[in-house]
């Protein structure tokens, strides 16, 4: 596709969505319009371990610092960091020792420390020790162990663990057996991944998604469409038929050639 054709497709037809990826080569941007994956490239070179977006800001955990973009990617004077989460309450970040801190009003405040933080999301911490909730300036143990990822579904935590996918209700309720590595939720959507499969919630059930590519999905994000990315750098879009040029919908994919992808955030 020529640059002129791409400009027509992504500039004239509809607004584009920008997805940010944390990769072993740096922070990558992927521009998507409907089900069409367009231009992509590195916005900042580093070893990026996690990425989150909120209110136009893109925050990245790297092996050196926490960075904030999306333009210059300036340091927030915290790091090295293994996980990061941005929301209306500021930025949460975890360092390699398991210390979790919140950045607000140009200041970092420690909220607690746990063993081996794997992910942060919406005020929750996924760690080897379990799920923890950030409550003011402390961490509250919510339960489970060997947690690999956490997300909130309309305020209700979902947790991916080594032995299953759980939802917090009257205690932790197991939604599905298996060794889950990632979970995401947003709007009417929820997805969870193992090393081999991606599952989507359909009503009260979790069903396997038939993807057009192989490889473990490491993260899922939501915007105009559902977006996913594999560890080996294949970007996927699940488009509603109404958002596609041919009216067919379904999953589309594009290999980006970026290795060691760890996370995805949609701006």
Distance CA 235, CA 252 (A): 8
Judged against a pLDDT cut of 80, whether residue 142 lies above it is answered with: yes
Element (H, E) at 6: helix 3-7
Q: How far apart are CA 65 and CA 50, in angstroms?
A: 11
The predicted model gives 82-87 an average pLDDT of 96
Q: Look at residue 11 in the predicted model and tell me its pLDDT.
A: 40
Asked if omega into 70 is within 30° of 0 (cis), the reply is yes
Q: What are 239's two structure tokens? A: 């488009």
**What pLDDT does residue 174 have?**
97
Q: Give the CA angle between residues 96, 262, 130 to the nearest 5°.
A: 55
pLDDT in tens, 227-250: 999 999 999 999 777 766 666 778
**Averaged pLDDT of the chain:** 91
Task: Report the CATH number at residue 56.
Answer: 2.130.10.30
pLDDT attached to residue 137: 87
pLDDT over 70 percentage in the chain: 92
Residues 127, 53, 65: CA angle, nearest 5 degrees = 65
The structure tokens 């947690």 sit at 147
What is the count of structural domains for the chain? 1
pLDDT bracket for residue 1 (50, 70, 90): very low
pLDDT score at 7: 34
What's the confidence (pLDDT) of residue 89? Answer: 83
pLDDT for 247? 67
Instruction: Supply the range of the domain harboring residue 84.
Output: 3-266
pLDDT digits (tens, 9 = 90+) for 24-51: 999 999 999 888 899 999 999 999 999 9
Q: Whole-angstrom Cα distance, residue 19 to residue 81? A: 21
What's the pLDDT tens digit per position in 183-220? Answer: 999 988 999 999 999 999 988 899 999 999 999 999 99
Q: How far apart are CA 100 and CA 118, in angstroms?
A: 11
pLDDT(159) > 70: yes
Among candidates 83, 87, 167, which has minimal Cα distance to 128? 83
Beta sheet of 138-143, edge-to-edge order: 117-121, 124-127, 130-135, 138-143
pLDDT band, very low/low/confident/very high, at 12 (cuts 50, 70, 90): very low
DSSP labels, 109-162: EEEEE-SSEEEEETTEEEETTEEEEEETTEEEEEE-SSEEEEEEETTEEEEEET
Q: Would you say the C-alpha torsion 84, 212, 209, 247 has a positive or negative sign?
A: positive
């Amino acid at each position: 596709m020529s640059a002129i054709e791409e400009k027509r497709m992504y500039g004239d037809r509809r607004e584009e969505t920008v997805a940010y990826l944390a990769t072993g080569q740096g922070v990558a941007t992927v521009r998507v319009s409907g089900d069409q994956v367009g231009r992509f490239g590195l916005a900042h070179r580093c070893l990026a371990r996690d990425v989150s977006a909120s209110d136009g800001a893109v925050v990245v955990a790297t092996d050196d610092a926490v960075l904030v973009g999306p333009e210059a990617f300036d340091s927030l004077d915290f790091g090295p960091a293994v996980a990061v989460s941005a929301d209306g309450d500021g930025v949460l970040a975890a360092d390699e020792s398991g210390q979790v801190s919140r950045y607000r009003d140009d200041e970092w405040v420690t909220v607690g420390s746990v063993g081996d933080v794997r992910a942060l999301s919406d005020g929750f911490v996924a760690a080897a020790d379990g799920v923890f909730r950030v409550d003011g300036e402390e961490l509250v143990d919510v339960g489970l162990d060997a947690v690999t990822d956490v997300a909130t579904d309309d305020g209700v935590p979902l947790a991916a663990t080594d032995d299953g996918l759980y939802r917090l209700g009257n205690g932790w309720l197991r939604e599905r057996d298996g060794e889950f590595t990632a979970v995401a939720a947003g709007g009417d959507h929820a997805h969870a991944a193992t090393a081999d499969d991606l599952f989507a919630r359909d009503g009260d059930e979790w069903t396997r998604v038939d993807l057009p590519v192989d490889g473990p999905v490491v993260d899922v994000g939501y915007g105009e469409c559902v977006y996913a990315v594999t560890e080996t750098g294949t970007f996927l879009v699940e488009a509603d038929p109404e958002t596609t040029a041919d009216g067919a919908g379904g999953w589309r994919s594009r290999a980006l050639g970026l290795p060691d992808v760890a996370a995805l955030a949609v701006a």
